[in-house]
Amino acid sequence: MGDHSLVYKLNSERRRQIAGNKFKTEEAEVVVVGSCNTDLISYAPRLPKPGETIHGTKFSIGFGGKGANQCVMAARLEAKTAMVSKVGDDAFGNETIKNFKENGVITEFVSISKGASTGVAPIAVNEQGQNAIIIVPGANMLITPTEVEDALSKLPSVKVLLCQLEINMDATLAALKYGKSKGILTILNPAPAVEKLDPEYYKNCDIFCPNETETEILTGLPVTNIDEAKTAAIKLIELGCTKVIITMGGNGAVLITSDNSNPVHITTQRVTPVDTTGAGDAFVGSLAYFLAYHSSLPIPEMIKRACHIATISVGNQGTQKSFPWKIDLPEELLK
């Protein structure tokens, strides 16, 4: 697929014009039920130890939340995408909705709550691109199962539904069950991971997509290399999953399905990251795009291409602002 460096071909204003080519709400084919956060990002030579204060080198404010990130990534690949979420009645919430619109996302189902602030995520990033994140969910926890089901009922063309665990978990499970009942392909990115996750979450998603750390929490098994990931993937199938994709950062991903007990390792090109924040979300959002628009591709090929896009994102600072647009990517990647 060529090298993984990225030079954006368009300035931000032209990208907004592309995103402004609106489609009707009922035409949305990828829907994300998930979180919206404002990222408060501090860059420093290293991450502080407990009780320690250190000097940083840079600070920025960006848009985040795993749900919002995955939604924006799919939209930048020109998937017809809708977001179902809740923000606070504050400046962060207003800017979040504006950002969705500038990325071509349908915002009809992004509701505003006066009961809590928009979610925030203070993030520390070291010189190696590693990060530590604290999430304060705020309004994300106020969205209800009824609100989610009502929104999904107004989206008749959806092919792929993405969920995470950053919002009210009852609402997440309601979304997965609704999608499953309507024949929509459901993906659960179980982040942040929960010990002893209700088996209903495993049973109501078609693709279960954790990273190494989340897999360790969910299975109680170590996941420090590919062989350990394969063992943990088998355990997740035993817990009720149909298809499992464990993302492994620079080591690619491990895939297993319930009808094939042999896990497969999909490799990706290793690069020196600038900032890994949001890389997993870039992967999941890209995977949703391939599932919705290139469903004839073998799943290992979809994973390989989604890894490629995620690898591009780690070469740039920030979360959503590091995500490439379709026009920035090689044509053969998206065929």
- Residues marked active site are found at 281
Element at 314 (helix H, strand E): none
Token digits for 97?
Answer: 């909705």
For residue 132, what are the contacts with CB-CB under 8 A and spacing of at least 6?
Answer: 47, 123, 124
Residue 10: count of CB within 10 angstroms of its CB: 13
Pairwise CA distance, residues 11 & 171, whole Å: 38
Question: Tell me, what amino acid is at 101?
Answer: K
State how far the Cα of 76 lies from the Cα of 280, in Å rounded to an integer.
16
Task: Tell me how far apart the alpha carbons of residues 86 and 142 are, in angstroms, rounded to a whole number.
Answer: 7
Q: Which amino acid is at 267?
A: T
Residue 78 burial (C-beta neighbours within 10 Å; 0-12, 13-18, 19+): middle
